[in-house]
Amino acid sequence: MDFSEKQPIYLQIIDFFCSRILEKKWTPDDRIPSVREIAVKMEVNPNTAMRAFHYLQEKEILFNQRGIGYFVSENAYQKVLELKRTEFISEKLPVFFRDMNLLGISFDELKILYDKYGSQSTGG
Amino acid sequence: MRDPNQFSSSFSIERFFLVLKRFFILNQKNWIVGILGAAGLIFSLWMLPVLFIDTPIELLGFKMMEGTAMFFYTVGGLVLTSRIFFELHSPATAFQFLTLPASTLEKFTAAWFISSVAYTLAAVAAIFLLGILVESISAFKLGIWDYFRFFNPFEADNLQRFAGYFFYHSIFLLGAIYFKKNNFLKTLLVIISIFIGLFFTIAIGGLILTFMMITDDFSIEYQLLESAANWQSILTYFIGTILIVTFLLFGYLQLKNKQVA
Amino acid sequence: MVSIHNLSFAFKKNQLLFDNLNLELQTGFIYGLFGLNGAGKTTLLNHISGMLFPKTGSCKISGKSSRKRYPETLSDLFVLPEQFDLPSVTAESYVNIHTPFYPGFNVDYMHQALREFLVEPDKNLNELSYGQRKKFLIAFSLATNASLLLMDEPTNGLDIPSKSQFRKIMAATDHSERCVVISTHQVRDLETMIDHLTVLNDGNIIFHEGIESIAEKLSFEKIADDDNRFVLYSEEIFGGKSAILPKKPGSKETQIDLELLFNGIIHKGDVIHQQFREEVV
């Protein structure tokens, strides 16, 4: 039943960077891997990797220091959070709601499950 | 505006030497084995009379020794020449030669140089040293040093043989590019066929001439023919040189237009 | 970089392999040259490198006729054929005799690449396995720093780890000053590497588009059988269809399925091509 589309590679790279920032593994002024390193790791054309860097630079999540490399911006966390929230609400939630309807999961049931998840992951 | 196709396809001496070095390194194993084998064979042939005859090597004997060595020099060189463009004849190797960054002229002259001039110099040195070796063995054995002779490449006989090699070499170089397989044998076959053809042409021509001499008074023409014989050697070299140049030119053009098999 | 104009060629008389073929290739791109077996991919590469001569028309590299084989053209070009034999010399010796022909040759890069590929430089090339020899020549071709690189089925004969190594080494190399043409019928091996798709079929180039423009114009989706949207090309898969649809402006980009696209171009070339022509109107 998975009719979702496979993401283009440059979006996969963007997602990877974003989750690093959301998980606070990358913090402001951290130097991140180079275009070349990412291209090699992902086995893609460097131009493809470059696209992801350009996109995040445009969104002011990364900044480029000529000749040194790419760094995480001061308020990258905030920006990523906004970006990902919008994406989640506009793209992931509709699919999620559709599946809820299909499987007959009620909102109350969902709340119980969510609370359980919350206590597990924080109480651990 | 300069026509981009007017680009220098000219000759660079630096690239010529690079191609030469490449030819040498890629073929050195085969050549060294070939030269050592031939030298061994010549040495054994030369040693036979030295071992079994208890007289010093006379001039005639030495001349015969030279003859055998020069025969191996010629045949060996022509076999080597036939193989010099081996890369061209298989698609799996042709790319390396055809896209080697040097002009066709550089590649062709390098192949010519290494299989004629360089090869001849190496062969002369080898024959010279072998000669000294055999002469020394003979002299030691008999204790007589008066008859000691050196191989002299500048003797008329030998010069003529070198000239002969350079002539046939130009044909085999063409054959090395033209034929895909068995270049040596095929070139040899073509030369033999041409000789047979020439022989018949001359024989038939001769017959007609004789017939004319019988029927007509042919004395004046006959005399002219006689005097022409004096010019024979000069004419031979003249025609030979023209033929060499022609064969080399054909070889060059053949290489220039060679495409991947 | 490469400019092919009205090129026609035939191996046998009256049986044209190329019929008035035109193609322009530029610096800074990795072109994927795709075609069915026998479409003439290798023959086209041989024309570009000047190893075959066109019957009519012309093929030029930086304005100079390929068939003239100028040393200046050849020193800026490297050909990696699918099948090749290397001379019986050591890797080191091969490098030594050939590097002086390539002014931009990077010896350090060569050694680094050989290390990454685990090829021993002091071994005779004929003692190496087919895959090892291929990796050796790939490393050599990249080290020449030639502006034009023609690779014919570079991943053929490589084992799975080597294919990955090949992609890594291609990804690590700066191609911005270079034009790379990779011919292959193994689309999957290289789909992440190329940034331009060129399809050769029936004696002509029937598709020649950049990956970015493909991603802007086409959408690659898995759709349900009862989906009634306009589909350009589709193939049956388990539980639905793999389909190429026209991409709606503003919609999210999808990952290009090159294999599907290639099949689509071969079978429904006109319909797909239409998507790229519309913008011009």
Rounded CA-CA distance C84/C240 in Å is 44
The pTM of this model reads: 0.85
Domain boundary among C158, C179, C202: C202
Residue bearing tokens 């030119």 = B249
What does each of the 261 residues of chain B score in pLDDT, given as a tens digit?
333 333 455 788 999 999 999 999 999 988 899 889 998 999 898 888 888 877 777 788 888 888 999 999 999 999 999 999 999 999 899 999 999 999 999 999 999 999 999 999 999 999 999 989 988 888 888 887 777 888 888 988 899 999 999 999 999 999 999 998 888 999 999 999 988 998 888 888 888 877 776 665 555 555 555 666 667 778 888 889 999 999 999 999 999 999 986
Domain boundary among C182, C202, C222: C202
What does each of the 281 residues of chain C score in pLDDT, given as a tens digit?
999 999 999 888 878 899 999 999 999 999 999 998 888 999 999 999 999 999 999 999 999 999 999 999 999 999 999 999 999 999 999 999 999 999 999 999 999 888 888 888 889 999 998 889 999 999 999 999 999 999 999 998 888 988 988 998 888 888 888 999 999 888 888 888 898 999 999 889 999 999 889 988 898 988 888 888 888 998 888 888 889 988 888 788 888 889 899 999 999 888 888 888 865 44
Total number of domains in chain C? 2
CATH number, residue C100: 3.40.50.300
Best B25, B31, B96 member to test C by mutation, with max C CBs in 10 Å, is B96
- Do C218 and C159 lie in one domain? The reply is no
| Domain, as residue range, for C256 | 211-280
- Do C167 and C224 lie in one domain? The reply is no
Residues of A in contact with C215 (CB under 8 A): 8
Provide the pLDDT for residue C276: 86
Best C48, C68, C147 member to test B by mutation, with max B CBs in 10 Å, is C68
- Do C39 and C110 lie in one domain? The reply is yes
CB-closest option in B9, B92, B103 to C84: B92
Q: What is the pLDDT of residues C29-46, one digit of tens each?
A: 999 999 988 889 999 999
- Do C162 and C263 lie in one domain? The reply is no
- Do C57 and C88 lie in one domain? The reply is yes
**Which residue blocks in chain C are alpha helix, DSSP H?**
41-48, 71-74, 91-98, 107-116, 130-143, 160-172, 187-190, 211-217, 258-277
- Do C223 and C84 lie in one domain? The reply is no
Q: Do C51 and B104 touch (CB under 8 A)?
A: no
- Do C31 and C111 lie in one domain? The reply is yes
Contacts 24+ apart (CB under 8 A), B233-239: B237/B163
Residue type present at position B102:
A
In this structure, chain A runs to a length of 124
Provide the pLDDT for residue B219: 54
Task: Write down the CATH number for the domain with range A1-124.
Answer: 1.10.10.10
Would you state the structure tokens that stand for residue C45, as one six-digit string?
């590469």
Q: For chain B, where are the E strands, in sequence order? A: none
C-alpha distance from C181 to closest chain B C-alpha (Å): 16
Would you state the structure tokens that stand for residue C85, as one six-digit string?
């034999």
Q: Which of B182, B169, B163 is nearest to B114 (CA)?
A: B169
* 3-state SS assignment for residue C80: strand
CB-closest option in C171, C195, C255 to A43: C171
Provide the pLDDT for residue C255: 87
- Do C265 and C242 lie in one domain? The reply is yes
Say which residues have a Cβ less than 8 Å from residue A42's Cβ, sequence separation at least 6.
A9, A12, A13, A48, A49, C171, C192
Residues of A in contact with C254 (CB under 8 A): 5-8
Please report all neighbours of C, defined by 3+ CB atom pairs within 8 A: A, B
- Do C175 and C228 lie in one domain? The reply is no
Say which residues have a Cβ less than 8 Å from residue C226's Cβ, sequence separation at least 6.
none
